[in-house]
Every structure is written in C-alpha cells, then in structure tokens.
Amino acid sequence: MEGMKSDVSTHRYYCSSYSWPYYRPLAGYRATDHRLVFIFFPLAIGFRSLILLLSEILSYSIRHLITNNQSVILMKPLPRSFYNRDTAIVAKELLGKTFVCRLADKPIYGRIVETEAYQSDDEACHAHKGKSARNQALFGPVGHTYVYLCYGIHFCMNIVARNTDKLPAGGVLIRGIAVSEGQVELRRIDGPGRTAKALSITIDHIGIDVTRGSSELVVYEEEPLAETDIIVTKRIGLSKGANKPWRFLCTL
C-alpha cells in the first residue's frame, strides 16, 4: 500500500499519514493486536451496558414498591408454625403485624392493633360445644380464616390458631386494624364488625390461607412490639368467659 511499509520480522507497520483509516501505532504494537480490540471492545461495552440496564431496572422496581407502600411484597408471611401455639400467645404476638387485604380493586395495608383469643376449652368459643357446619373451620388447619355472622348483621374474621397437640380448635378474632394505605374511610378501624366491613370480608372468605403470599388475605412478619406498647384486658361483649384476660391492644 502506498505510503506504508512493513517489517515482516517484527510484524510492525508504520503509516506516513494520520488521516483515517491509517494511524501510527505505539512502538512495539503488533499488527494483529488491534484487531482483537475491535472484537472485544464492543463486547465489553455491550456487557457493561447490559449490567447498567439491569441495575437501573432493579433500582426502579424497588423504588416503585417502596413509593407505593408495597414493600410488604419483599417481606415474608408469618409461617404456619406461628399459629400452632397457645391461642392467647398468638393473639398477643399478632399485634403490630402487617395485614394485607387484596379483595378490593386496590390492596389495603394495615397493622393489626387489637385481637382476642378463643379456645375450644373456653365457654365463649364457638367450638366449645363441638364441631358443626358453622364452626368446622376452627377445627381445621391453623393459619386459615374463620368468618362468622354476628347477630345477623356483622361479619367477624378470625385466624385459626391453637396448639394442635393440646386442643382441637381455637382462633384469634381480629378486632382492629390501623390502615396505612387503601381505599377506606378511616385510618384506624376499631371493632371486629367494622374491620370486616371495611375490608369487604364476608362468609365467602372462610378458609383462606393467610400464610401464603399469593392469598387474598395475608399476615406478614414485623418486629415484635415491646411489652410497654401492649395492653391486656378482659374480653368485652361476652356473657360467658368474660373474666379471661385474652384481649390485646397496642398503641400504633
């Protein structure tokens, strides 16, 4: 090629012109080396761009979840073993846990702020007189919902919980939710009837597994509350078993 001479013994080449496509390589640069640059440099750029793109997508996804208060998706549902314990202990430790209801068009997120415990050896429990078509869910697997109609007016939701080695039935009545996000009139809902109504829970929602993240109703893990944040009282609105201190509230 005109204007170029080659040294075959060293495979070096030189160029008398600086204009493209000729250039003057550094001393000791092999003629075959620059070809590798043209092969691997685009690959390196492409790989780096792919990593940056994936990183940006992940970052956006996390920001989107947190911005919409749906970081609960990154949390773990309470395991079934949580509910396979003494019912009163479960009722107390459910305080402060995140409850998610996906029955409406948009999910409702809240923290459980009031509960009551009921066991089959307790006169106030629906299972006290044995198993029936109405209360059979209380005898079923722990971590599932039990819903009943109270006075023919209000639905009330329970989560089946008991030490399965000691008792045949038991459940925790959800009496209050502090809502953090969702289409509800009140941010804090007190009373089991109002709670079920605000969450659109009815008799059709018996048997939902609250330990599965894909369920319509799920309870998620949270840090345990301090004892100073928990109030323990006798259950209310009962004619039998009213003396048991199985009502639990917190000040969230």
Residue 182's pLDDT is: 72
Q: Which pTM value belongs to this model?
A: 0.71
pLDDT by residue for the chain (252 residues), tens only, comes to 444 444 444 444 444 444 444 444 545 555 555 555 556 656 666 667 778 777 777 665 554 454 444 444 568 999 999 999 999 999 999 999 999 999 988 899 999 999 999 999 999 999 999 999 999 999 999 999 999 999 888 999 999 999 999 999 999 999 999 998 877 777 899 999 999 999 999 999 999 999 999 999 999 999 999 999 999 999 998 988 889 999 999 987
How far is it, in rounded angstroms, from Cα 97 to Cα 83? 13
Q: Are 118 and 126 in contact (CB under 8 A)?
A: yes
For the chain, what are the domain ranges?
A: 4-61, 75-250
Q: Which of 175, 206, 205 is nearest to 110 (CA)?
A: 175
Query: Distance (Å, rounded) from C-alpha 211 to C-alpha 216?
Result: 11
From CA 127, how far away is CA 171, in angstroms rounded? 9
pLDDT at 42: 61
Q: Quickly list H helices, 134-248.
A: 192-198
Q: Are 153 and 196 in contact (CB under 8 A)?
A: no
pLDDT of residue 23: 46
Instruction: Residues 75-250: name the CATH superfamily.
Output: Methylpurine-DNA glycosylase (MPG) (3.10.300.10)
Q: How confident is the model at residue 61, as a pLDDT?
A: 56
Task: Report the candidate in 128, 149, 127 with the shortest Cα–Cα distance to residue 136.
Answer: 127
